[in-house]
């Protein structure tokens, strides 16, 4: 399999601390790595790597699990890192892959770290093999599309390749927002200040009005 690039996505998950059945769950910003590759039979695949936290089976200590998902895709979208040179690894087939443990020169993922009783799984990616393709920003750019209904806000947002979208019409309550684009709909009474109050992390806001 030839690795062609990757992107890093941010999302809100739960970090877990504590022991002996006394645990604290905190909403936390995490990263997941999404790799793109071409199999020997020319199929395109997306490999998503992330970590989940929780408690061990006995409730004595916190635990972590390395997770991997392999999907066949039609086309590559939105990778922001390319390989410094051509990289080939053994095929990882979407229809039959080992979700417990994968190790190659690009990444390693272990479901439970070899300990099913006190899981300590995680994943790593060798970022030295990649170079960033876009200018790095200190603050994450977030665009808010707002305006009257039937002006094409959702349509345009859905066609912007490589950017994640949150639609406020999907929920009466606004969650932590880690998406790149927020479509401020008119189903509820959400205001721009409500959006800003729920954008996670350091961000740079860009408001786009649709008239």
Tell me the per-residue pLDDT of 166-194, one tens digit each, with 9 for 90 and over: 999 999 999 888 888 999 999 999 999 99
With b for 16 or more beta-carbon neighbours within 10 A and e for fewer, the 97-128 pattern comes to eeeeebeeebbbbbbbbeeeeebbbbbebeee
pLDDT in tens, the chain (211 residues): 999 999 999 888 999 999 999 999 998 889 999 999 999 999 999 999 999 999 999 999 999 999 999 999 998 877 889 999 999 999 999 999 999 999 999 999 999 999 999 999 999 999 999 998 866 566 778 999 999 999 999 999 999 877 889 999 999 999 888 888 999 999 999 999 999 999 877 789 999 999 8
Tell me the pTM.
0.72
């Amino acid at each position: 399999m030839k690795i062609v690039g990757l992107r890093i996505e941010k999302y809100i998950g739960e970090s877990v601390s504590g022991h002996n059945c006394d645990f604290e769950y905190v909403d936390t910003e995490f990263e997941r790595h999404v790799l793109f590759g071409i199999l020997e039979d020319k199929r395109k695949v997306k490999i998503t790597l992330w970590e989940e936290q929780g408690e061990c089976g006995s409730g004595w200590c916190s635990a972590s699990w390395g997770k991997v998902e392999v999907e066949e895709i039609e086309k590559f979208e939105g990778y922001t890192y390319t390989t410094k040179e051509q990289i080939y690894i053994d095929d990882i087939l979407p229809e039959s892959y080992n979700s417990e443990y994968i190790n190659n020169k690009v990444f390693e993922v272990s479901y439970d770290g070899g300990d099913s009783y006190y899981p300590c799984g995680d994943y790593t990616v060798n970022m030295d093999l990649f170079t960033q393709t876009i200018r790095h920003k200190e603050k994450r750019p977030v665009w808010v599309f707002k305006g009257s209904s039937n002006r094409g806000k959702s349509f345009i947002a859905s066609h912007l390749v490589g950017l994640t979208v949150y639609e406020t019409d999907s929920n009466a309550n606004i969650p932590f927002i880690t998406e790149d684009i927020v479509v401020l709909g008119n189903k509820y009474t959400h205001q721009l200040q409500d959006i800003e109050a729920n954008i996670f992390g350091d961000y740079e806001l860009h408001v786009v009005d649709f008239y």
